[in-house]
């Protein structure tokens, strides 16, 4: 039943998303004075998409994908789709929909765009290794749901404490385009080069390039951003350029700053509707913050605003077993922490 519900909902969402390019997920990443990089993301839809938190031990076979590295993440129902995760070395990966993707034909590779998240996490200790892995890996189309021929495509933000990239498949060969993510943003369509053009038009470069770290954001253009993929990309880039790092004195300060940025992309129920998708109000189903230097993975859900932390490199990976844990509906069990003592 869980898989059937995911299939119906996802099929409707993604078939509509192909036509409108309004699929919604947002990701950002910024570096810190402590030599760290923090990644944040929201999963934005009008429904739960079968997400469950998993612990995948070293060598675990997730529907044909395995490797020597243990990882955690968000798996959708009993599919191969891992949309978010971190491995024991602190490598962080986030996948967002990209209708403009173009892969090798179905069946030409054992790897498809849905299992790239698990594949990278299980086989790469850092971004450099992920790049080398992906350069030699052909990726094919697949159906995102078992009913219907739906393949909307995805791209990925891959981050460690030293490097951050966006990976896309654009030419139909099955091999990727890899971009250094200087602006620290990824949303959905259009492709990354076009998104960068939008950011160039917004920023006051003053003779600098995007990768110098000296770019100035023109205050006069800092205004309300649209909620479409272009607007969210521009807003994520803008937040990175105006982030006050003088108040970041520790890695925990950086995590807190990231949660503040995540809040910008939250969607209070009832404030946004995609009538073409569903009569139900939109929401950020889950949000994450990834501390790559300390291999800490944090998340919260629309129905439980309590932030949950997973100390990934402190899991006993020598003896770990595969686990699945519900992320929705847990407020009834955990509630919120008391601030003062009560009777």
Instruction: Specify the CATH number for the domain of residue 135.
Output: 3.60.60.10
Q: Considering the domain boundaries, does residue 336 fall inside one?
A: no
Tell me, yes or no, whether 292 lies in a domain. Answer: yes
What digits encode the pLDDT tens for the residues 204-238? Answer: 666 666 666 566 666 666 667 888 889 999 999 99
Distance in angstroms (rounded) separating the CA atoms of residues 69 and 238: 35
The mean pLDDT of 52-66, rounded to a whole number, is 97
Q: Provide the residue range defining the domain that includes 141.
A: 2-331
Edge-to-edge strand ranges of the sheet holding 323-326: 177-180, 164-168, 154-159, 92-97, 82-87, 71-76, 51-56, 323-326
228 lies in some domain: yes
Cut 0.75: pTM above it = yes
pLDDT in tens, 158-192: 999 999 999 999 999 999 999 999 999 999 999 99
Compute how many other C-beta atoms are within 10 angstroms of the C-beta atom of residue 56.
Answer: 28
Q: Residue 80 domain-assigned?
A: yes
Radius of gyration of the chain (CA): 19
pLDDT digits (tens, 9 = 90+) for 128-159: 999 999 999 999 999 765 334 456 799 999 99
Say how far apart CA 65 and CA 118 lie, in whole Å: 7
**Residue 156, in any domain of the structure:** yes
Contact in structure between 232 and 24 (CB atoms under 8 Å) = yes
What is the number of other CB atoms lying within 10 angstroms of the CB of residue 340? 4
| H-helix or E-strand spanning residue 304 | strand 304-311
Question: Structurally, how many domains does the chain consist of?
Answer: 1
Task: Name the average pLDDT for the chain.
Answer: 86
């Amino acid at each position: 039943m869980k898989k059937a519900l995911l299939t119906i909902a996802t099929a409707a969402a993604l078939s509509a998303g192909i036509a409108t390019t309004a699929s919604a997920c947002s990701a950002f990443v910024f570096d810190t004075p402590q030599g760290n990089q923090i990644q944040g993301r929201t999963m934005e839809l009008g429904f739960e998409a079968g997400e469950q938190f998993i612990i995948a031990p070293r060598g675990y076979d997730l529907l044909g994908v395995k490797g020597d590295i243990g990882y955690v993440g968000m798996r959708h129902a009993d599919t191969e789709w891992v949309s978010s995760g971190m491995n024991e070395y602190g490598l962080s990966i986030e996948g967002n929909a990209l209708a403009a993707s173009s892969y090798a034909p179905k069946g030409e590779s054992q790897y498809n765009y849905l299992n790239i998240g698990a594949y990278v996490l299980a086989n790469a200790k850092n971004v450099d290794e992920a790049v080398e892995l992906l350069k030699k890996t052909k990726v094919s189309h697949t159906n995102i749901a078992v009913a219907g021929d739906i393949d909307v495509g995805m791209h990925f933000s891959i981050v460690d404490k030293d490097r951050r990239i966006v990976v896309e498949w654009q030419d139909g060969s099955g091999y990727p385009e890899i971009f250094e993510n200087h602006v620290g943003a990824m949303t959905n369509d259009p492709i990354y080069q076009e998104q960068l053009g939008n950011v160039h038009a917004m920023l006051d470069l003053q003779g600098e390039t995007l990768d110098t770290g000296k770019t100035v954001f023109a205050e006069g253009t800092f205004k309300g951003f649209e909620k479409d993929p272009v607007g969210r990309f521009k807003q994520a880039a803008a937040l990175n350029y105006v982030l006050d790092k003088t108040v970041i004195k520790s890695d925990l300060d950086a995590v807190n700053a990231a949660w503040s940025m995540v809040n910008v992309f939250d969607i209070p129920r009832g404030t946004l509707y995609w009538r073409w998708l569903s009569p139900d109000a939109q929401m950020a189903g889950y949000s994450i913050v990834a501390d790559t230097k300390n291999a800490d993975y944090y998340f919260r859900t629309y129905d439980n605003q309590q932030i949950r932390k997973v100390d990934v490199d402190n899991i006993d990976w020598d003896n770990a077993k595969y686990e699945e844990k519900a992320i929705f509906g847990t407020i009834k069990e955990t509630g919120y922490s008391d601030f003062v003592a009560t009777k």
